[in-house]
């Protein structure tokens, strides 16, 4: 691979630097979560991305290495379920050869115990586990899978035993689906060391049915928690932090709330997303993308790919959530939202 001299950070049209890249290593998943891959749309006949169209580890490494020269400081491996990608530890080892690059992974935890120690030995820095309920009936209804809450809790324990001292635990909250699980989750994790984060139900992709009425807002989540457990707000740890962080006043735990619907944070978004198929999206809600797979496989030099990436980021003016919020929850907003949904990639394909 050619050496590209570091030319300083890139900034988009709103002055936002490119600092984080989410890499979907597969669009396959063994869960059928209602807010992501509902079974009626992702059933037995669903066609996954053909294997020959999925980026190889070498191609992913090439993209990350180029972006590393302009200030990329964090890569998050996602899916689908990333641990369904064969030999994922090999990619982790390759990426960790890049200096000062933080490497994280988001998983549903179902098969994490098999890989936790190997991932740690390969150099993975952090793990985020999705857990949308502690009640087993609610969990199974939400994930539409054969796995149980105990399977995910065992995965968290396995990660700790492998050397991951503190994990992030993500819960997507949908009104009427699992909002009654907020307090049980807080009770479970309020003594630490894991960081519990609640995420507003977002209108991603085209298939999950989304309604504003289903959004259990950040303010409601906070009010629910503080009805039993007093919290104290924390200052953001870094620019571009997506979650509003709080600490328990009477215990050691921390809670984060990601309010992408009710309090959008587009103004400080520093993330780009690379799909398993090799398309670079500069926004979770973007309809257009840069086809890096074609560039990587058509003989372009690293310099040519560098400039294509630079053009994509420097032209970036994405702020869909802020535009939506500025319209209020009126008929015009609904039309804006439905128009923007058409042609958008699914969360399982884009990687969140």
List the domain boundaries for the chain: 20-350
Residue 238: pLDDT over 90: no
CATH number attached to the domain at 20-350: 3.20.20.70
Residue 352: pLDDT over 70: no
Residue 42: pLDDT over 70: yes
pLDDT of residue 206: 65
Residue 241: pLDDT over 60: yes
Distance CA 81, CA 64 (A): 20
Name the band, by pLDDT with cuts 50, 70 and 90, for residue 44.
Answer: confident
231-233 and 244-248 as β-strands: parallel, antiparallel, unpaired? antiparallel
How does DSSP assign 111-140, residue by residue?
TGGGTHHHHHHHT--EEEEE---SSHHHHH
Going across the sheet that includes 231-233, the strands are 231-233, 244-248, 254-258, 195-200, 168-173, 126-130, 102-107, 74-78, 20-24, 271-274, 279-281, 290-291
Over residues 99-105, the mean pLDDT reads 97
Q: Tell me the sheet residues that pair with 279.
A: 291
Distance CA 119, CA 103 (A): 11
Over residues 33-54, the mean pLDDT reads 90
**SS3 of residue 75 by DSSP:** strand
Distance CA 103, CA 65 (A): 13
Lowest-pLDDT range of 19-28, 53-62, 191-200, 258-267:
258-267
Q: Give 265 or 93, the one with higher predicted confidence.
A: 93
**Could you tell me what percent of the chain has a pLDDT over 70?**
89
pLDDT of residue 176: 95
pLDDT tens-place string over residues 125-156: 999 999 999 999 999 999 999 999 999 999 99
How far is CA 54 from each of CA 49, 274, 346, rounded to the nearest angstrom? 7, 11, 16
**Could you tell me what percent of the chain has a pLDDT over 90?**
74
Contact (CB, 8 A) for 307 and 10: no
Task: Give the pTM.
Answer: 0.91
For 240, left (φ over 0), alpha (ψ -120 to 50), or beta? left
pLDDT tens-place string over residues 265-294: 888 999 999 999 999 999 988 778 999 999
Contact (CB, 8 A) for 197 and 171: yes
């Amino acid at each position: 691979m050619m050496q590209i001299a570091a030319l300083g950070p890139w900034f988009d049209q709103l002055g936002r630097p490119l600092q984080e890249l989410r890499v979907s290593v597969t669009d396959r998943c063994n869960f059928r979560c209602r807010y992501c891959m509902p079974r009626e749309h992702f059933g037995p006949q669903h066609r996954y991305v053909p294997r020959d169209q999925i980026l190889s580890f070498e191609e992913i490494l090439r993209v990350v290495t180029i972006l590393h020269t302009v200030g990329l400081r964090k890569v998050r491996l996602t899916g689908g379920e990333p641990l369904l990608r064969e030999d994922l530890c090999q990619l982790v080892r390759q990426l960790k050869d890049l200096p000062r690059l933080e490497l994280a992974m988001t998983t549903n935890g179902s098969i994490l115990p098999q890989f936790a120690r190997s991932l740690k030995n390969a150099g993975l820095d952090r793990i985020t586990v999705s857990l949308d309920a502690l009640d087993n009936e609610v969990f199974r209804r939400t994930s539409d899978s054969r796995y149980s809450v105990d399977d995910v809790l065992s995965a968290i324990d396995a990660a700790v035993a492998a050397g991951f001292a503190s994990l992030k635990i993500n819960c997507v909250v949908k009104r009427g689906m699992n909002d009654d699980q907020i307090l049980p989750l807080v009770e479970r994790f309020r003594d630490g060391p894991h960081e519990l984060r609640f995420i507003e139900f977002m209108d991603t992709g085209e298939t999950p049915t989304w309604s504003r009425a289903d959004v259990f807002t950040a303010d409601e989540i906070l009010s629910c928690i503080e009805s039993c457990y007093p919290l104290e707000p924390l200052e953001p740890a870094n620019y571009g932090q997506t979650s509003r962080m709080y600490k328990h006043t009477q215990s050691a735990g921390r809670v984060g709330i990601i309010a992408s619907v009710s309090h959008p944070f587009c103004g400080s978004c520093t993330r780009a997303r690379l799909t398993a198929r090799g398309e670079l999206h500069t926004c979770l809600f973007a309809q257009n993308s840069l086809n890096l797979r074609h560039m990587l496989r058509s003989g372009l030099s690293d310099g040519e790919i560098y400039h294509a990436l630079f053009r994509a980021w420097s032209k970036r003016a994405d702020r869909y959530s802020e535009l939506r919020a500025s319209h209020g929850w009126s008929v015009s907003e609904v039309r804006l939202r439905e128009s923007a949904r058409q042609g958008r990639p699914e969360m399982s394909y884009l990687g969140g």
